[in-house]
């Protein structure tokens, strides 16, 4: 038996004001359905691929009632799914995308096919390894990746050459490269000799290849880069290519002061 169609706004000011406590923004609905991240959902809406009760919308933020309204993307009805949260040890050689036109190995290759709705939370470049999350919960993805939530990501970095703690000061103060400023939240040398050094570095933002660019600026080539922790969650005993489901208590740690259902 199909769901009853209700009335919804189309992104106008009046429509947004009419949104009740039972509605959510369309990009959140698409994210909750495991279709994409919120940002990608906004792009789908702007591209005119989304309809609510048969009416095409083009403004992100349009309210939708998950119970009464019928949402479709490219003509296919989309419904929210059970939330999933996975911790994966990404091996080197894998890319953090849901599909790859070049035929390279992707994270989805490591998980059961029935969980195809989950997507990577943030990214690790192809040459890097370590902890990464996958989910179909846009709220969780935002909490983990947006700098305003202050979720630190901890890395172990092996580089060529001897590095002293004083050599890392520019990374802590901020390195300007073009329009970007690359900055580590913390950085310290764990071990070193004249052939190489092991560095522990924390980041708040996941800019593209940030640690590699920082170390290149400092004159050192990265030989191995491994993420060992995201917020309170550690890589622990996970082996390359293996995964585990995050416990409810672990997910809740990313929503302090709120009740995550």
Is the domain of 17 the same as that of 62?
yes
Q: Is 7 left (phi over 0), alpha (psi -120 to 50) or beta?
A: beta
Helix (H) / strand (E) containing 131: strand 129-135
Question: From the CB of residue 34, how many other CB atoms can be counted at a distance below 10 Å?
Answer: 22
Comparing 5-19, 55-69, 218-232, the range with the smallest average pLDDT is: 5-19
Is the domain of 158 the same as that of 207?
yes
Is the domain of 18 the same as that of 41?
yes
- What CATH number is attached to the domain comprising 39? 3.10.290.10
Mean pLDDT score, 45-67: 94
- What CATH number is attached to the domain comprising 184? 3.30.70.1560
Q: In 3D, which of 209, 40, 181 has the Cα closest to residue 124?
A: 209
HSE-CB of 16 using CA atoms within 13 angstroms: 9
pLDDT value of position 21: 54
Q: Is 202 a catalytic residue?
A: no
Is the domain of 113 the same as that of 72?
no
Domain boundary pick from 77, 103, 132? 77
Is the domain of 139 the same as that of 103?
yes
Q: Is 163 left (phi over 0), alpha (psi -120 to 50) or beta?
A: beta
pLDDT value of position 258: 61
Q: Are 77 and 5 in contact (CB under 8 A)?
A: no
Q: Is the pLDDT of residue 27 over 50?
A: yes
- What CATH number is attached to the domain comprising 139? 3.30.70.580
Does residue 260 sit within a domain? no
Is the domain of 216 the same as that of 243?
no
Among the listed residues 100, 125, 139, 202, the single catalytic one is 125
Does residue 2 sit within a domain? no
Q: Is the pLDDT of residue 39 over 60?
A: yes
Q: In 3D, which of 234, 24, 218 has the Cα closest to residue 130?
A: 234
- Give the pairing of strands 222-230 and 129-135: parallel
Does residue 7 sit within a domain? no
pLDDT value of position 260: 53
Task: Express each pLDDT in 114-156 by its tens digit.
Answer: 888 889 999 999 999 999 999 988 889 999 999 899 999 999 9
Does residue 20 sit within a domain? yes
Does residue 8 sit within a domain? no
Domain boundary pick from 77, 95, 113? 77
Domain ranges, residue 18: 13-77
pLDDT value of position 81: 79
Question: From the CB of residue 151, how many other CB atoms can be counted at a distance below 10 Å?
Answer: 20
Cα(83)–Cα(80) distance, integer angstroms: 9
Say what the alpha-carbon torsion angle 68, 73, 75, 78 is, to the nearest 10 degrees: -50
Is the domain of 90 the same as that of 61?
no
Is the domain of 140 the same as that of 185?
no
Is the domain of 186 the same as that of 91?
no
Does residue 133 sit within a domain? yes
Does residue 258 sit within a domain? no
Is the domain of 134 the same as that of 178?
no
HSE-CB of 44 using CA atoms within 13 angstroms: 24
End-to-end CA distance of the chain: 27
- Tokens coding 223: 């030989």
Q: Is the pLDDT of residue 256 over 60?
A: yes
pLDDT value of position 128: 97
Domain boundary pick from 26, 57, 77? 77
Mean pLDDT score, 232-253: 96
Confidence band (pLDDT; 50, 70, 90) for 191? very high
Is the domain of 108 the same as that of 226?
no
- Tokens coding 40: 């990608």
Q: Are 84 and 245 in contact (CB under 8 A)?
A: yes
Number of domains, the chain: 3
Q: What is the mean pLDDT of the chain?
A: 88
Is the domain of 241 the same as that of 120?
yes
Does residue 29 sit within a domain? yes
């Amino acid at each position: 038996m199909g769901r009853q169609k209700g009335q919804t706004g189309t992104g106008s000011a009046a429509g947004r004001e009419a949104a009740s406590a039972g509605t959510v923004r369309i990009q959140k609905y698409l994210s909750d359905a495991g279709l994409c991240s919120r940002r990608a959902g906004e792009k789908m809406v702007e591209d005119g691929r989304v309809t609510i009760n048969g009416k095409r919308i083009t403004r992100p933020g349009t309210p939708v009632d998950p119970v009464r309204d019928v949402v479709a993307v490219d003509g296919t009805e989309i419904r929210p799914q059970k939330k999933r949260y996975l911790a994966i040890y990404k091996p080197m050689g894998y890319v953090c995308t849901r599909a790859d036109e070049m035929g390279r190995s992707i994270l989805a290759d490591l998980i059961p096919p029935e969980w195809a709705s989950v997507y990577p939370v943030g990214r690790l470049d192809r040459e890097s390894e370590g902890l990464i999350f996958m989910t179909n919960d846009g709220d969780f993805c935002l909490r983990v990746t947006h700098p305003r939530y202050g979720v630190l990501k901890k890395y172990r970095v092996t580089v060529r050459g001897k590095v002293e703690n004083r050599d890392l000061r520019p990374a802590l103060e901020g390195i300007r490269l073009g329009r970007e400023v690359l900055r580590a939240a913390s950085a310290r040398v764990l071990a070193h000799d004249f052939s190489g050094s092991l560095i522990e570095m924390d980041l708040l933002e996941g800019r593209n290849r940030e640690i590699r660019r920082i170390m290149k600026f400092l004159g050192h080539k990265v030989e191995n880069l491994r993420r060992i922790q995201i917020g309170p969650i550690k890589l622990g005993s996970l082996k390359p290519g293996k995964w585990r489901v995050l416990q409810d208590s672990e997910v809740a740690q990313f929503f302090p002061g709120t009740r995550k259902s």
